[in-house]
Structure 1
């Protein structure tokens, strides 16, 4: 136990502290004691907590943010591929071509990949992330990045204190970006035992389900016809659309009934509508605040957004996707489809809990690029995609901090800089409010703090 007279371990003072609290208040200084935020306020208010053993960091106008939470990031896969990405042109990676990594055969291979990602994310100010889909459905997968053994590797590394981030994981009982069935999911829920939580570092929260594919590949399930006349289809087994939809609804009901959080990859307007309805129906049966969410949500009608908002179903999307792929979506479904495409502004205005993420290694894990894309909707060619869906800077920051904490069911523990919460912090080497959004990706991350401990620092 500590009291108010106990000196802080770390004080950051003389800058702009973006608290991301309910009122988006700003402060000048923050004090950290025993891994928790001890005080937030003016420099004068925080100064009394600086004692003989306190490390005092003079910010000189730099910005302090809550630790960044990338709420949809494939950590094992990223560690195996980096610096190659699936959209290198967006990542600004110097023209690295995509190369499929060698299969990760052993625990040592996977651990090296996880730790590589852990170090990379620490350098970017990321202190939490969600690993969205590891489990039996991929035990024989070609990459070795998504099988159930990776869950054990994460748990072991967390127990050893080797992870430089808090990791939430979803189980996968079907194929990555591929087929699944209600029978396989039911069997997995009954028989598969995930590793136990490692408090504060690793937790298996629920289940990932793939509803459909993606619009540019004409595999998203849509109401609008593609240029070739098709509508795509669900990835769930079934003889026709009706059987596949019934199976998907049954899968969502089973996972919810088993007490799990559910993240559903859904992109087409028909898929997102059915998924939202199925998630809402499952929650209505018992009233549980399950923190279910739609992943990607490329095409979302206003009616679907209203369902998400009314049932507290989250939306987890990537701002870099529209700026990179909007022309491909328009070519597949027509310009009219863009009215409902990646509606981040409309989602917030409807009351949907919006989380932004990288989907790395599809996109870069650099959240600064993600925030700039959300605020400007500008692609690398300078063109603006969907200007009406732009977010304000504070809204984009919340979508990388406090709202992902809500998705994790941990908004009372992390995601904002408030007394009593964990001391997870990201220090940027500039005042955010003095920057043009396009310049944000050029600003170095000066320091990353996890549980009050400095895990990255520019020298």
Structure 2
């Protein structure tokens, strides 16, 4: 016990420590931004001073606040000002007519004048009862005088209208880049609407944005999206140079009250490291000798943690990379479609070795099993072993094969799963991949049994910030139709909660300060109105956040 008077003592409810050795306690004391005591009520109450506030939980549940293991915080200040074209339950869309209605209402409500961009988020053809992609003609029909761009739910693509394509310089003469997708008009070569992967990267990097001041003014609302869900450490999981510049400005101005973990996208590394090494003039994978010094330390609540690589695309967009073909046609109607890697395997090996040799942590996006094979080979070629404690995170690890778990163990790779896919796209995955592969989606139970440490994530803004849905999806693995997507991969609520707390903390090397309730750790805690470990499985979805604390300071109260 730390010998200080507590600022607050929590008692009178369920307290989950997320420590396997001592799962539940009666009381917790905090002060000076840290946890002072954890244990029996009588023991903890000995830290009470004249000014200590005793918080009666009244049967509610206290636990460590949640850690965003992978997401895109930089999207939050932007999408507050975008139209929501997501499907149920994240948004109102069930068909193309709904998209048209939402966009028209958005333009009217926000007085968007002709010629100005209209941006939407959450587009996904699997939500549309029309059975086809939304096209430029569909968007032109409702907004012919505005450039329009609907960001794909995977964040790997978009649908544009005619003025949008013109503004971005895309036309019939624009070639489809390697690793990219541009759907073309039937019988012609004009872009039809949807673009994905490397065809989208230049557009994503140059999205039209409000002014810096307008974005900075949204940072409180952006952080409240997380704090209201009990999350106090957020991730920007594919940081572009302009994103880092904005977040650093917010940090320097004292606007951050949550911790932000930035993972720069590999292609943006030269721009980013120049902020720390102005004389650096190298190419994408020519890291300066001292590059690692830029990583791992918070500055005004912002830190660089590692470098993000990307091997393939999204399974719901059919741009992931598999060893076996889909059972349905590819995104352009291709037969026997296995997808493709975003970059050549030789380049991925070069990326991985360069980053590893620089002593920087690697976060790599891999969805399909062939993409995972590429990353496994790259890690093995770079000389990685489990004993190195590199904590290489394989983001998503969605459609692994069982044999690849052994490779993860051998090389020290740690999966960050995306179990809410079972709900949002489970039925689609079964249709595209068949039951065998679909049922092994985000195989958390098998990973834990193999001895791997694994987190879970929402990949915001791909799916909403919703830790309780993440817990529920890991426990239930139920699709929209009600099918259990792999009964053998269900885990207990305790393990599902660990994936959002201590395991997520371990992946970003913060297990000594976050993730469990223990003396000396940061007082990052959340009060829930129910106990996820004891309520019926479907009741987990109904559990709400009562209050969230970051280092002892209340940052959200319902």
TM-score of the two chains, using structure 2 as the length reference: 0.71
Q: Does residue 88 of structure 2 align to residue 89 of structure 1?
A: yes
Q: Does residue 498 of structure 2 align to residue 398 of structure 1?
A: yes
Cα distance per residue 1:184-241 (max 9 Å; x no partner): 53157689997995347211111111101123333222110224213221111xxxxx
Distance 1:18 1:85, change over 3 A: farther
Q: Which residue, 50, 73, 86 being the options, matches 2:71?
A: 73
Aligned-pair distance for 1:307?
A: 1.5
Q: Which residue, 479, 484, 489 being the options, matches 1:379?
A: 479
Cα distance per residue 1:123-152 (max 9 Å; x no partner): 1110112210112xxxxxxxxxxxx12212
Quote the residue 1:261 is aligned against.
361
**Counterparts of 2:541 and 2:300 in 1: how far apart (Å)?**
29
Quote the residue 1:32 is aligned against.
30
Aligned-pair distance for 1:153?
A: 2.2
Select between 329-338 and 88-97 the one with higher mean Cα deviation. 88-97
Q: Does residue 230 of structure 2 align to residue 231 of structure 1?
A: no
* SS state at 1:284 partner: coil
Quote the residue 1:239 is aligned against.
none
Matches within 5 A, 1:178-217: 185-187=284-286, 197-199=297-299, 201-217=301-317
Over the aligned positions, Cα root-mean-square deviation in angstroms equals: 2.8
Aligned-pair distance for 1:54?
A: 0.9
Aligned-pair distance for 1:81?
A: 1.9
* SS state at 1:348 partner: helix
Cα distance per residue 1:377-425 (max 9 Å; x no partner): 1234433222221110000000000001001111011111000101100
**Counterparts of 1:170 and 1:437 in 2: how far apart (Å)?**
34
Q: Is the 8 A contact 1:118 1:165 kept in 2?
A: yes
Quote the residue 1:170 is aligned against.
263
Quote the residue 1:319 is aligned against.
419
Q: Does residue 150 of structure 2 align to residue 151 of structure 1?
A: no
Q: Does residue 158 of structure 2 align to residue 160 of structure 1?
A: no
Q: Does residue 510 of structure 2 align to residue 417 of structure 1?
A: no
Aligned-pair distance for 1:93?
A: 6.7
Q: Which residue, 538, 545, 557 being the options, matches 1:445?
A: 545
Structure 1 gap segments, 5+ residues each: 136-147, 176-182, 237-243
Quote the residue 2:155 is aligned against.
none
**Counterparts of 2:309 and 2:339 in 1: how far apart (Å)?**
17
Distance 1:28 1:195, change over 3 A: closer
TM-score of the two chains, using structure 1 as the length reference: 0.86
Q: Is the 8 A contact 2:219 2:255 kept in 1?
A: no
Q: Does residue 233 of structure 2 align to residue 133 of structure 1?
A: no
Aligned-pair distance for 1:51?
A: 1.5
Structure 2 gap segments, 5+ residues each: 100-119, 122-149, 152-206, 269-281, 328-334
Give the total of aligned pairs: 430
**Counterparts of 1:295 and 1:84 in 2: how far apart (Å)?**
27
Cα distance per residue 1:36-73 (max 9 Å; x no partner): 11001122221121221111110122111101001111
Select between 309-318 and 155-164 the one with higher mean Cα deviation. 155-164
Q: Is the 8 A contact 2:514 2:521 kept in 1?
A: yes
**Counterparts of 2:315 and 2:321 in 1: how far apart (Å)?**
8
**Counterparts of 1:319 and 1:189 in 2: how far apart (Å)?**
37
Distance 1:376 1:198, change over 3 A: same
> RCO (CA 8 Å, sep 6+): is it higher in 1 or 2?
1
Quote the residue 2:212 is aligned against.
107
Cα distance per residue 1:252-281 (max 9 Å; x no partner): 111111221111111111111221232244
Looking at secondary structure, tell me which structure has more helix per residue: 1
Select between 337-346 and 276-285 the one with higher mean Cα deviation. 276-285
**Counterparts of 1:48 and 1:287 in 2: how far apart (Å)?**
42
Q: Does residue 238 of structure 2 align to residue 122 of structure 1?
A: no
**Counterparts of 1:210 and 1:380 in 2: how far apart (Å)?**
28
Q: Which residue, 432, 437, 454 being the options, matches 1:337?
A: 437
Quote the residue 1:180 is aligned against.
none
Distance 1:217 1:153, change over 3 A: closer
Aligned-pair distance for 1:443?
A: 2.2
**Counterparts of 1:286 and 1:384 in 2: how far apart (Å)?**
33
**Counterparts of 1:343 and 1:86 in 2: how far apart (Å)?**
30
**Counterparts of 2:17 and 2:412 in 1: how far apart (Å)?**
23
Cα distance per residue 1:314-342 (max 9 Å; x no partner): 11121111222123223333333235432
**Counterparts of 1:86 and 1:357 in 2: how far apart (Å)?**
21
Question: Which of the two has higher C-alpha Rg?
Answer: 2
**Counterparts of 1:191 and 1:261 in 2: how far apart (Å)?**
14
Q: Is the 8 A contact 1:31 1:46 kept in 2?
A: yes
Q: Is the 8 A contact 2:425 2:479 kept in 1?
A: no
Distance 1:92 1:43, change over 3 A: farther
